[in-house]
Structure 1
Amino acid sequence: MGQRGELFSTRFFAEEGRKTYFFNVKENRYHDIYLNIVESRKTERGFRRSSVVVFQENLDMFAISIEQVISCIQHRQDNCGQSFTVDNGRREYTLKLASQGKPALQITESRQDDSGFHREMVYVSTGVLDIFMARFKSALSYANTAIQNGRGYAEPETSTPYQTDSDD
């Protein structure tokens, strides 16, 4: 296993290097596979990170929703948005066209846990949606293969080595 439970990682740069998007397929200590989508934005004080986590049981619904919303945005349709709740109502994903600023896909994860309510948002400008989806699909494919092969439940000596996708 790779760093911090990473099984696969790919990234791309946007907005002349001011933003980096990471797609990390990880395995937690309970052997659950999940996809972590991270947006890292350069600020005056360093970097600001936003992270959305999608667990294996929600990957299919998330993938369908993101494809529908991006198609809606690309075809300039009105009311581009999807929302679904999982984990007994404790986690909600909202995907939509951002209502403020430059046109962008807004991915929001809202969750309730023992420490309170948390909300994370990732913004993807419409100019990079194609590469965002290509990298998303690459990570999703790896996650689905790992799940089908029982990767999340394999003994350490039979595990697949950490892999990283090439940079553009």
Structure 2
Amino acid sequence: MGQRGEIFTLKRFVEDGGLTYFFNVKENRYGDLFLNLVESKKKDDRFVRFSLIVYSEDYAKFSEILETAVTKLKAEVPDWEHELKTGSGKRKYKFTVKAAKNRELYLIVSESRVGSDENYENVSIRVFKRNLDVFLEGYDQAASHMKRA
């Protein structure tokens, strides 16, 4: 096990360094694995981070729906959406394919989770079609570490 439960970490730069995706597989104190997907965007003179967590019990279904969403994005099917509820209703993921103002398609992957105050916290990352191959390469590498024996 790596530092702070880190099993695997990878970063991928796109858009001339203005956008970075991080793919982390970590282990919690109980030995359960989870996937942490992070989008870091340059905004003015700083970076803004958006972080999703996919727990091992949700991983297979999450990956299945992500694969469907990627197929829709590649086939240029706009306005497609699917929701996955997990974790006894305390988490849900939403996959959306949309068109930007310039008509370029992109995928939004959102996570809603119950926070410490019992209200939902919403976080999402975006993957434009032009960055999809880089994102999928990182995701696939991280995924290989989620399937440990």
Q: TM-score, normalised by structure 1?
A: 0.81
Contact 2:79 2:98 in 1 (8 A): no
Q: TM-score, normalised by structure 2?
A: 0.91
Match of 1:124 in 2: 127
Identity over aligned pairs, percent: 33
Aligned AA (1:47): F
Deviations 1:101-121 (A, max 9, x none): 553110100011332320111
DSSP 3-state at the match of 2:88: coil
Distance in 1 of aligned mates of 2:99 and 2:54: 23
Match of 2:91 in 1: 91
Matched, 1:5 2:8: no
The Cα RMSD (Å) is 1.5
Q: Which segments of 5 or more consecutive residues in structure 2 lack a partner in the other structure?
A: none
Matches within 5 A, 1:24-103: 24-98=24-98, 100-101=100-101, 102-103=104-105
Q: Which segments of 5 or more consecutive residues in structure 1 lack a partner in the other structure?
A: 149-168
Matched, 1:135 2:135: no
Structure with more strand by fraction: 2
Q: How far off is 1:30 after superposition?
A: 2.1
Which is greater in Rg?
A: 1
Give the structure, 1 or 2, with the largest relative contact order (CA under 8 Å, sep 6 or more). Answer: 1
The answer to which of 8-17 and 18-27 deviates more is: 8-17
Distance in 2 of aligned mates of 1:9 and 1:43: 24
DSSP 3-state at the match of 2:29: coil
